[in-house]
Amino acid sequence: MRGATRARPGRVAVVWITALSPAIAQAQFAPRPLSRFDRQKAEWLLRRRLPCLGCHRLDGAGGVIGPDLSDVADRRTPAFIYRMVSEPQAALPGSSMPKIAMPDEWRALVVSYLAERKGRGAAAVDPPSVAAPGRLDAVSDGAALYQRVCAACHGSEGRGDGPNAANLTTRPTAHADSAYLSTRPDDTLFDGIFAGGYILNRSHLMPGWGETLSRNQLWGLVRYLRALCRCTGPAWSRDGAGGAGGAGGAAGADEGAEDAVAEGDVRRARSSR
């Protein structure tokens, strides 16, 4: 028929693939060939922008909390690596790895780069994705959650001396430092935990937990930081602080109640170790 436009098979395929559900897309992921520029960009993302090397090592540099990424393709399939980066709690329930917000293009590029580094001829074997005890979404206590996801770098008592701290290019913040934390509003602490260090012009190696933890869990961590530093944020940042009449007294009473709860959090954390 004159004037009719025939659909191009390649275009139809692209539309079909992009319409797949995330779970199917992850299962069908295949690494793409990389140019020299692609590899350089992937390395830059891993070393300069994303928090991956805060926990993982790559060619001798980085943290030691998670598995070494240098030869991850020898142990895991590209599809599993992609699932782990996309939805770590679904790929490996109970993992302490957070989901990192990033463009899909970055995710596919980084995983293709890691998959390309396969060395040994042995077939990669993926772990079973089964429910495990101690899932992050089941940890509601701020003190327990801190020990689970923060202490490896920031230290069990918030002194910035965790076992992974020596592997980082920037020393982790000492949450027990009241002089420093008293200059930071609660909202700033929340933002740092939610989005990571990069958003606050701090170390990009600090990951964000906003895609993994609930709001209640995030605020529980903020309250526990206040317990560790035994301090509050600046007066101007606290609701009711400096207000006329009895507002200041009410705020003080609220802070006293929060301090009592925080002290209980610290005692529970210390008694559990």
Q: Where are the domains of the chain?
A: 12-116, 139-272
Residue with the two structure tokens 């991956």? 52
Give the containing element (helix H, strand E) for 141: none
The CATH architecture that domain 139-272 belongs to is Orthogonal Bundle (1.10)
Model pLDDT, residue 131? 58
With beta carbons less than 8 A apart as the criterion, state whether 163 and 152 touch: yes
Amino acid at 61: A
Which residues are 57's β-sheet partners?
A: 62
Model pLDDT, residue 135? 85
Give CA–CA dist 110/185, Å, rounded: 35
Residue 258, CA atoms < 13 Å, CB-side half-sphere = 21
Model pLDDT, residue 266? 47
The CATH number corresponding to 12-116 among 1.10.760.10, 3.30.470.10, 1.10.260.40, 3.40.50.720 equals: 1.10.760.10
pLDDT averaged per 10 residues, the chain (length 273): 45 40 64 96 98 97 96 94 95 92 97 90 75 80 97 98 97 98 97 96 97 97 98 90 36 41 47 46
Model pLDDT, residue 123? 77
* This prediction's pTM: 0.78
Model pLDDT, residue 130? 62
Question: Do 12-116 and 139-272 show the same overall fold?
Answer: yes
Report CA-CA distances (Å) from 208 to 42, 144, 149, 154, 198.
20, 18, 11, 14, 9
Amino acid at 218: L
Model pLDDT, residue 14? 38
